[in-house]
Amino acid sequence: MLEPLRAIMARLRDPQAGCEWDRAQSFATIAPYTIEEAYEVADAIARDDVAALKDELGDLQLQVVFHARIAEELGAFTLDDVIASICAKMIRRHPHIFGDGVSPGWETLKAAERAGADDRSALAGVALALPALLRAEKIQRRAARTGFDWPDAHGPRAKIVEESAEIDRAESDAERHDEIGDLLFAAVNWARHLGVDPEAALRDATRKFETRFRTMEAIAGDAFAALPLDDKEALWAEAKKVVRQSGGSSPTSLAEEGKSTK
C-alpha cells in the first residue's frame, strides 16, 4: 500500500510538473514537520481518539516517504532501502524470535551495533532534536548503564539544593543560564530515581496549570486581567477547588460550577 503514496510524492517532486512548494523542500525544511506530526500522533493517543490517530499516522507516514524521495533524488537511498534497513534491524535485535538462539539482552545487542559505528560512546545516538527533558533523561540512563550514577535518590535531591544555591550566587546572566540548566538536569535525575517520567510530569503539570488558569478567567470574566494580585491568588485557590471537585471539566462548565458556589 506504500506504492500509491510513493507515486504521489514522486509526482509532487517532479522538476517540471510537480508542486512548487514540495519541490523546494529539503531534509532540513521538512524535519520540523516530521517532529510536529510525531507529536500529533502522541496527542491523538493521549486523547484516545482512534480516528484522529489513523489520520495522524498517515501524516507521519507521508514524512517518511517525503524524506526517502529527497534521498532517492540525491542518490543516497530509496524507500525500499529504508524498509529493508528497519526489517533487518528488528530481526537482528530479536534473535530469540527470528533465530535459534537466546537473546543476549538489549544492551548487548545495542553495544554490538555501536561497535561498528564511528561513535562508540555509550551516549551515541541520543538525538539532539529530542525535547530537552527527554534527552536529559536518556543521557542519564545511558550513563547509568555504565555504572556512572547516584546509588539512590538522595544524591540527585542534594544536587538540587546545591544547584539552587549556585543560582543565588550567580553574578551574570550567563552564569544564571548555566546554573538553571544544571538545576533542571538535577531535577530530571531526581525524577528518574523516583521512577517518574519528567517529560510526562511537566506536561501534566502544565496542563493542570492551564485548566486552573482558564477556570480563573472564566469565573472572573473580562475583569480578570485588572484584578489585583491578591484577588487573583484567591481566585486561584477557588479554581483549584472547582477543578478538583469537577474531575477536570471544561473551563466554561467549571466557571458555572464556581459561580454556583458563591
On whether both 80 and 23 belong to a single domain, the answer is yes
Last-in-domain residue among 34, 63, 91: 91
On whether both 170 and 215 belong to a single domain, the answer is no
Return d(Cα 172, Cα 229) in angstroms, integer.
29
For residues 210-237, average pLDDT: 93
pTM: 0.67
Confidence at residue 68, expressed as pLDDT on a 0 to 100 scale: 97
Residue 111 to residues 91, 94, 116, 128, 212, Cα–Cα distance (Å): 16, 14, 9, 20, 46
Residue 216 lies in a domain: yes
On whether both 191 and 207 belong to a single domain, the answer is no
Q: Which pLDDT tens digit goes with each residue over 2-42?
A: 899 999 999 999 999 999 999 999 999 999 999 999 999 99
Angle among Cα 134, 160, 203 to the nearest 5 degrees reads: 35
Last-in-domain residue among 172, 196, 220: 196
143-151 long-range CB contacts below 8 Å, 24 or more apart?
145/107, 146/122, 150/189, 150/193
Share of the chain above pLDDT 90, in %: 71
Residue 114 lies in a domain: no
On whether both 59 and 71 belong to a single domain, the answer is yes
For residues 171-176, average pLDDT: 96
pLDDT, averaged across the chain: 90
On whether both 203 and 187 belong to a single domain, the answer is no
Confidence at residue 261, expressed as pLDDT on a 0 to 100 scale: 47
Determine the residue type at 87: C
Cell of 203: 506536561
CA nearest neighbour of 111 among 102, 100, 101, 120: 120
On whether both 204 and 175 belong to a single domain, the answer is no
Residue 6 lies in a domain: yes
On whether both 156 and 203 belong to a single domain, the answer is no
On whether both 15 and 84 belong to a single domain, the answer is yes
Residue 234 lies in a domain: yes
Q: At 102, is the pLDDT very low, low, confident or very high (cuts 50, 70, 90)?
A: confident
Cell of 186: 538535577
Confidence at residue 100, expressed as pLDDT on a 0 to 100 scale: 77
Higher pLDDT, 95 or 103: 95
Residue 125 lies in a domain: no
Return d(Cα 164, Cα 169) in angstroms, integer.
9
How many domains does the chain fold into? 3
On whether both 228 and 183 belong to a single domain, the answer is no
Confidence at residue 104, expressed as pLDDT on a 0 to 100 scale: 76
Given a contact cutoff of 8 angstroms between Cβ atoms, the answer to whether 8 and 18 are in contact is: no
Q: At 244, is the pLDDT very low, low, confident or very high (cuts 50, 70, 90)?
A: confident
Residue 152 lies in a domain: yes
Q: At 254, is the pLDDT very low, low, confident or very high (cuts 50, 70, 90)?
A: low
On whether both 86 and 9 belong to a single domain, the answer is yes
Last-in-domain residue among 28, 61, 91: 91
Residue 66 lies in a domain: yes
**What residues make up the domain containing 17?**
2-91
Confidence at residue 103, expressed as pLDDT on a 0 to 100 scale: 78
- What is the CATH number for 151? 1.10.287.1080
Q: Which pLDDT tens digit goes with each residue over 107-164?
A: 677 777 767 677 878 888 888 888 899 999 999 999 998 999 999 999 999 999 999 9
Residue 118 lies in a domain: no
Confidence at residue 57, expressed as pLDDT on a 0 to 100 scale: 97
On whether both 181 and 230 belong to a single domain, the answer is no
Return d(Cα 6, Cα 46) in angstroms, integer.
30
Q: At 206, is the pLDDT very low, low, confident or very high (cuts 50, 70, 90)?
A: very high
